Amino acid sequence: MQNTIKTRSGKHLILPSDQEDLEIRKGLLEDPDTFELDTEQFQQLRPVKAGRPPSDNPKERITIRLSPDVVKAFRASGSGWQTRMDAALKEWLDQHPDRMG
């Protein structure tokens, strides 16, 4: 019977058998491009911060009510639609400096 573990997301992972594990380790030893860390090296590892670096000019999260047809049109333009909507508002501001006080 296969040894399995269940992840937090609910997926079941099949673990290698003892024989498969030996073959994997043998392959690692034979591969000149890889190596297995010893306990001391492993303990020196530090987690990597994933994700984007902080922005110098972060955007502000707000709630706004827009016409459904406006939202539909921008969403239909694909990924990045919120950035394009922001650009359209900036363009309006540039064209109407007298409207902003």
Nearest Cα residue to 89 out of 62, 54, 50: 62
Q: Does residue 28 fall inside a structural domain?
A: yes
Confidence of residue 65 (pLDDT cuts 50, 70, 90): very high
In-domain check, residue 26: yes
- Within a domain: residue 75? yes
How many angstroms separate the Cα of 96 from the Cα of each of 20, 21, 81, 86, 90?
69, 68, 23, 15, 10
Supply the pLDDT for residue 1.
58
Q: Is residue 59 part of a domain?
A: no
Instruction: Give the pLDDT mean for 33-61.
Output: 89
Is the per-residue pLDDT at 92 higher than 90? yes
Confidence (pTM): 0.48
